[in-house]
Amino acid sequence: MTAPAPDLWPGSGLAHLDVDAQGNLRPTPAYWRHWLQRPELALVEESCRSEKSLHRALLSMPLRPVPAVEVDSIADADVAHNYRHFLALRDAVQQAGSLQGWYLALFRGGAVTVPPLFIDLVTQAIVQHLLLQVSEGTPDALSARAAELFFRPQRISFEQGRVLAADSATLQQQSQTQGLGEIGRLLAQAQISATPLDLPVLGADNATRYWAEASAERKDMRSDMRSSLLLDLTQELKTEVGHGLQFTMNNARSGLKPLALLLQAWVQHLLGVAVTVQHVPRIDDPQWRWHVGLDAESSLLLNDLYEGHTVDDERLGRLISLFRLDFVNPAEMRRDVAGRPVYLGLMATRSGQLRLKPQNLLLNLPLAALS
């Protein structure tokens, strides 16, 4: 086994995982110690004696069996609840042998009862691993920010022909504090506006800011870095040049291209199937046979479009992007759709939320092995 490359997002715990010959991430005792330092499990001043005893025992022996009575004796019911979920995750991942094996088994096994946060943290480690592979160990800020869509909810805004994604948690915090920390929070509570919310768009001129935020996370392993930079998901930029003429050019700083590359790597890594993924402006395909929504909203939209239902402009306006996925080897597809493209959609909700579900690609592609 070899150690992964250095952490981009220390909160994922990638530095504490081994990589086996197949490229899968295998947990180590240090990985579970890392989990015990997270806010959900770390000791606080109010921790009871039973909680302290269990926490210290697990730090010493992260894989030790834990009888239910030890968890039940914790005074804080929420803390006990967190420990039950943690121990269930630990045991399931150890049994699966790798994070990838656990992830696939989780979503192929029916109802999912694992807390979304736990799933996001495992996803983050896998995606970081992929990002380092795709970039040969040196990802740029745009690719790293695009990778966050796999495990962090975004708030989408459509402004003057541009599609911008903000980290939902960061936006909520900024709204509460007005960007001024605790003083801003007090002003917001008093309904006094100190400064308008103004998050910059990630570009070549401020890429160092992204890495500075990641560096800040390394200094506090209990915090998860939340980027304050907007991700531009606009594929084409249009400029009015006068006399009714409009100039259109591709957006070189769009996050859609690195996102497509990561979706491509995600399928190949988790399913062992080589595919290509690229952005397309529309679906003009009389032989459209298969599609997969990357979120709940786009799944419904693509279903309606495929079935020929009328879709109003409001819904269409929330479509962020369409992608075309092609199997490198059509023989790996179901016979009835072999050689045909699979169309993917990405879409915001009415309230502007985006929750990408990468598991949809693992469950809903027309694979020959599953037909």
pLDDT digits (tens, 9 = 90+) for 127-142: 999 999 999 888 999 9
Which letter does DSSP use for residue 151 in this model?
T
Cβ atoms 265, 133 nearer than 8 A:
yes
What pLDDT score was predicted for residue 303?
97
Cβ atoms 297, 348 nearer than 8 A:
yes
- What does each C-alpha distance from 202 to 209, 210, 228, 229, 253 come to in angstroms? 9, 8, 9, 5, 8
Cβ atoms 26, 122 nearer than 8 A:
no
What pLDDT score was predicted for residue 251?
73
Average pLDDT, the chain: 87
Quote the CA–CA distance of 181 and 161 in Å, as a whole number. 32
Kindly state the tokens that stand for 19: 């990589």
pTM: 0.89
Question: How confident is residue 238, by pLDDT bands cut at 50, 70 and 90?
Answer: low
Quote the CA–CA distance of 145 and 125 in Å, as a whole number. 14
Cβ atoms 265, 139 nearer than 8 A:
no
Q: Kindly give, in sequence order, each residue whose CB lies less than 8 Å from that of residue 341, ignoring residues fewer than 6 positions away.
A: 285, 290, 324, 325, 326
Kindly state the tokens that stand for 288: 């459209």
Task: Find the helix or strand (DSSP H, E) in which 164 lies.
Answer: strand 162-167
Quote the CA–CA distance of 258 and 140 in Å, as a whole number. 10
Most confident of the ranges 185-199, 202-216, 342-356? 342-356
Lookup result for tokens 């509460």:
176
What pLDDT score was predicted for residue 10?
85
Question: How confident is residue 314, by pLDDT bands cut at 50, 70 and 90?
Answer: very high
Quote the CA–CA distance of 94 and 265 in Å, as a whole number. 24
What pLDDT score was predicted for residue 176?
60
User: Burial, 276: exposed, middle or buried (Cβ in 10 Å; 0-12, 13-18, 19+)?
Assistant: middle
Quote the CA–CA distance of 302 and 150 in Å, as a whole number. 20
What pLDDT score was predicted for residue 19?
96
What pLDDT score was predicted for residue 370?
61
In tens, the pLDDT along 35-62 reads: 999 999 999 999 999 999 999 999 999 9
Q: Is the pLDDT of residue 239 over 70?
A: no
Query: Pseudo-torsion of CA 81, 82, 83, 87, nearest 10°?
Result: 110
Q: Closest by alpha carbon to 11, among 219, 189, 169, 175? A: 219
Q: Kindly give, in sequence order, each residue whose CB lies less than 8 Å from that of residue 147, ignoring residues fewer than 6 positions away.
A: 127, 128, 130, 131, 139, 258, 259, 262
Kindly state the tokens that stand for 326: 């092609």
Question: How confident is residue 184, by pLDDT bands cut at 50, 70 and 90?
Answer: very low
Q: Closest by alpha carbon to 342, among 362, 321, 327? A: 327
Q: Is the pLDDT of residue 194 over 70?
A: no
Q: What is the domain partition of the chain in residue ranges?
A: 10-134, 141-250, 256-370
Kindly state the tokens that stand for 213: 């935020």
| Range with the poorest average pLDDT among 3-12, 161-170, 249-258, 322-331 | 3-12
In tens, the pLDDT along 318-356 reads: 999 999 999 999 999 999 999 999 999 999 999 999 999
Kindly state the tokens that stand for 298: 């786009």
Quote the CA–CA distance of 336 and 355 in Å, as a whole number. 31
Question: How confident is residue 191, by pLDDT bands cut at 50, 70 and 90?
Answer: very low
Q: Is the pLDDT of residue 69 over 70?
A: yes
What pLDDT score was predicted for residue 173?
75
In tens, the pLDDT along 76-103 reads: 999 999 999 999 999 999 999 999 999 9
Q: Is the pLDDT of residue 3 over 70?
A: no
